[in-house]
Chains A and B, each alone.
Chain A
Amino acid sequence: MINKTFTKDMRETWMYGILGFLVFLLVWQAACVFTNFGKIFPTPKVSLAAFLQAFVEPIGRHTLLGHISISLRRVLIGYTLSSITGIIIGLLMGYSKLAHAIIYPIFCIIRPIPGIAWIPLAILWIGIGEPTIHFIIFMGGFSQMVMNTMDGAQHVDTELVGVAKVLGAKENQIFRKIVLPSSIPYIFTGLQTSLSTSWMAVLAAEMITAREGAGWLIIAGMQTGRIENNVIGMIAIGLVGLILATLLRNAERRLCRWTVRSR
Chain B
Amino acid sequence: MPNEKVVVQNLTKSYGDLLVLDDISFSVKESEFFVIVGPTGCGKTTFLNSLTKIIDINNGSILLDGEAVDPRKQNLAYILQEYSALPWLNVEQNIAYGLKIKGYEKSVIEERVEEAIKMVNLENYRHYYPSELSASMLQRVVIARAFATKPDLLLMDEPYGQLDLNLKYKLEDELLSLWQQTGTTVIFITHNIEEAVYLSDRILVMTNKPTKVKTELINDLPRPRNVASRQFVELRNEVTDLIKWW
Residues of A within 8 A of B (CB): 1-2, 159-160, 162-170, 173, 177-178, 181-182, 184, 256-260, 263
Contact = CB atoms under 8 A, between A and B. Distances in A.
Nearest to B52: A166
Interface string B170-181: 000000000000
Contacts of A181: 86, 88
30 contacts: A159-B82, A159-B84, A160-B84, A162-B52, A162-B78, A163-B78, A163-B80, A164-B101, A165-B53, A165-B54, A167-B77, A167-B78, A167-B98, A167-B149, A168-B71, A168-B101, A168-B102, A169-B101, A173-B101, A177-B86, A177-B101, A181-B86, A181-B88, A182-B88, A256-B88, A257-B129, A258-B87, A258-B88, A259-B131, A263-B131
B67 interface: no
Interface residues of B, number: 32
B145 to A, nearest CB: 8
A168 B80 contact: no
Given A166-B155, A167-B97, A168-B101, 12 more contacts: A2-B129, A159-B84, A160-B86, A162-B80, A165-B54, A167-B71, A167-B76, A167-B78, A167-B102, A169-B101, A181-B86, A258-B130
Contacts of B71: 165-168
B18 to A, nearest CB: 20
Interface of B: 49, 52-54, 71-78, 80, 82, 84, 86-89, 97-98, 100-102, 127-132, 149, 155
B72 A170 contact: yes
Contacts of A169: 101
A258 B76 contact: no
B54 to A, nearest CB: 5
B85 to A, nearest CB: 9
A159 B80 contact: yes
A177 B86 CA distance: 9
Contacts of A166: 52, 54, 71, 76-78, 155
A1 B88 contact: no
